[in-house]
């Protein structure tokens, strides 16, 4: 199975704590509303980063589910540039020390 790196980006000027709260609310909703889509998320980056001057968080997601995740994120008001479909990762690459694997 191939994975893509999906980056979710905060609003301009949004603090990490506020962004983290929005992410928690989104994932809590998704796990109930679309469990199959949530199950396609394999790993979460251990740390927040900066993307184009904004706080961001990266996720490793199953390539086949990336489109559904981007659509769900956008519907919830979260910014997620579409991941590059040619930049794939194996399960082993998505299991590195910088990633936290999600229990499903």
Token readout for 56 is 């961001």
**Which CATH number belongs to the domain containing residue 91 in this structure?**
3.30.70
Cα 76 to chain center, whole Å?
13
Count of domains forming the chain: 1
Q: Which domain holds residue 72?
A: 3-101
98 pLDDT tier (thresholds 50, 70, 90): confident
Instruction: Say what the alpha-carbon torsion angle 90, 20, 98, 52 is, to the nearest 10 degrees.
Output: 80
Which residues on neighbouring strands pair with residue 68, listed in sequence order?
none
4 pLDDT tier (thresholds 50, 70, 90): very high
31-51, pLDDT tens digit by residue?
A: 999 999 999 999 999 999 998
Predicted confidence (pLDDT) at residue 104 exceeds the cutoff of 70: no
Token readout for 95 is 């299991």
23 pLDDT tier (thresholds 50, 70, 90): very high
**Rounded-to-integer distance, Cα 45 and Cα 32, Å:** 22
């Amino acid at each position: 199975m191939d994975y893509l790196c999906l980056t979710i980006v905060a609003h301009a000027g949004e603090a990490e704590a506020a962004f983290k709260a929005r992410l928690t609310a989104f994932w809590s909703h998704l796990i109930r509303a679309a469990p199959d889509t949530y199950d396609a998320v394999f790993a979460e980056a251990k740390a927040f980063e900066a993307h184009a001057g904004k706080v961001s968080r990266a996720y490793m997601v199953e390539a086949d589910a990336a489109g559904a995740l981007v659509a769900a994120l956008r519907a919830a008001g979260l910014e997620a540039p579409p991941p590059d479909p040619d930049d794939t990762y194996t399960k082993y690459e998505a299991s590195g020390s910088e990633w936290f694997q999600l229990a499903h």
